[in-house]
Structure 1
Amino acid sequence: MDSILLYNPKSDHLKHKSSAALHIAKHLGFPSNLMVVFFVVPTFIRNLVYNYVAKNRYKWYGKKDACMIPTPELKSKFIE
Structure 2
Amino acid sequence: MNSQTFKPEDYPVVLFDSQCLICDGFVKQVIKWDQDEALKFSGLQSTKAIYEINRRGIPMPKDGSVVLLFEDRYATESDAVIEIVEITGTSSLLSTLLRKFPKIWRDSLYRWVAQNRYRFYKKRDHCPLPEPSEAGRFV
Q: Same fold (TM over 0.5)?
A: yes
Aligned residue in 2 for 1:71: 131
Question: Structure 1 length normalisation: TM-score?
Answer: 0.69
Render the CA deviation track for 1:6-62: whole Å, top value 9, x for unaligned. Answer: 1222xx222111101221233456xxx344231221111100001000000110122
Aligned residue in 1 for 2:98: 38
Residue 20 of structure 1: which of 69, 80, 97 is its match? 80
How many angstroms apart in 2 are the aligned matches of 1:27 and 1:79? 17
Per the TM alignment, residue 66 of structure 1 is displaced from its structure 2 partner at its CA by 1.5
Change (3 A) 1:70 1:6: same
Change (3 A) 1:5 1:45: same
Gaps of 5+ in 2: 1-59
Q: Which has the higher contact order (CA 8 A, sep 6+)?
A: 2
Gaps of 5+ in 1: none
- Does 2:71 align with 1:5? no
Where does 1:41-56 land on structure 2 (aligned, <5 Å)?
41-56=101-116
Change (3 A) 1:74 1:58: farther
Matched length: 74
| Aligned residues with identical type, % of pairs | 30
Question: Structure 2 length normalisation: TM-score?
Answer: 0.44
